[in-house]
């Protein structure tokens, strides 16, 4: 593993941006399909599952919307535009040479807040199926990753440009997180399909 020397950042190719956006759309489709598939199961109307069923649907719907927004974010190359804007502002204020000392506290604060959010979210979902807990955690991690990359236009980019087996780390991390979300959604859909509405005799007993 080695880090590519820092140079003037070039805009990503349109093909890569569209491929990334497509991957996000596919992930959103898989996640939302898990929500729609659950509507075929009569167990969702039972008193035993109804409350958590709605909460889980709401969570996965939010994840779907975030993935679609991220797809537009990638397709529009918004990350590069924001990074370029921040660099321009720093140069105009003669702060570009100090960017690392400015960005580091922001990134560290964001990471601490993000980790706290992950912990709180997992605690709130502690009684839910593991696929739900992991899906929510990975989605939050992906959101943190996208936000930190914008703020830390130099440091994180240097790490993400590191080569692992001939592939940039950025080409592994983001697709890996999306793949994990897809896996959690598929696991969730299969788990939910095993739920059965309690029989009236059992509920009366």
Q: What pLDDT score was predicted for residue 155?
A: 57
| Residue 2, domain member (yes or no) | no
Residue 185 burial class via C-beta count within 10 angstroms: exposed 0-12, middle 13-18, buried 19 and up:
buried
Bigger pLDDT: 124 vs 101? 124
Q: Would you mind telling me the total number of residues written for the chain in this entry?
A: 205
Question: H helices of 76-169, where?
Answer: 78-92, 99-124, 130-151, 155-160
| Residue 63, domain member (yes or no) | yes
Q: What is the pTM of this model?
A: 0.80
| Residue 205, domain member (yes or no) | no
Phi, psi of 127 (to 5 degrees): -95, 0
pLDDT-based confidence at residue 18 (cuts at 50, 70, 90):
very high
pLDDT-based confidence at residue 101 (cuts at 50, 70, 90):
low
| Residue 52, domain member (yes or no) | yes
145-192 confidence digits (pLDDT tens): 888 887 765 556 666 666 666 666 767 889 999 999 999 999 999 999
> By the 8 A CB rule, do 117 and 140 touch?
yes
Distance CA 55, CA 59 (A): 6
Bigger pLDDT: 78 vs 201? 78
| Residue 5, domain member (yes or no) | no
| Residue 144, domain member (yes or no) | yes
| Residue 28, domain member (yes or no) | yes
Structural domain span for residue 85:
14-196
> By the 8 A CB rule, do 99 and 90 touch?
yes
pLDDT at 128 exceeding the cut of 70: yes
What is the arithmetic mean of pLDDT over 92-110? 66
Q: What pLDDT score was predicted for residue 176?
A: 94
29-67 confidence digits (pLDDT tens): 999 999 999 988 888 888 878 888 999 999 999 999 999
| Residue 7, domain member (yes or no) | no
> By the 8 A CB rule, do 156 and 145 touch?
no
Domains: count for the chain: 1
């Amino acid at each position: 593993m080695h880090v590519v020397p820092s140079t003037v950042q070039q805009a990503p190719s349109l093909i890569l941006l569209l491929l990334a956006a497509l991957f996000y759309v596919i992930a959103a489709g898989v996640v939302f399909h898990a929500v729609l598939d659950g509507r075929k199961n009569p167990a969702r109307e039972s008193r035993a599952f109804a409350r958590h069923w709605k909460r889980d649907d709401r969570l996965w719907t939010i994840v779907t919307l975030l993935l679609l927004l991220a797809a537009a974010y990638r397709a529009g190359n918004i990350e590069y535009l924001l990074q370029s804007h921040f660099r321009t502002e720093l140069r105009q204020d003669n702060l570009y040479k100090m960017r690392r000392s400015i960005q580091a506290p922001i990134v560290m604060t964001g990471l601490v807040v993000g980790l706290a959010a992950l912990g709180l979210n997992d605690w709130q979902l502690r009684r839910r199926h593991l696929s739900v807990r992991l899906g929510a955690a990975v989605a939050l991690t992906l959101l943190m990753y996208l936000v930190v990359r914008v703020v830390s236009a130099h440091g994180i980019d240097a790490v993400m440009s590191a080569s692992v087996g001939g592939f940039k780390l950025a080409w592994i991390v983001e697709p890996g997180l999306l793949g994990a979300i897809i896996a959690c959604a598929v696991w969730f859909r299969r788990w939910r399909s095993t739920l059965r509405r309690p029989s009236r005799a059992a509920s009366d007993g």
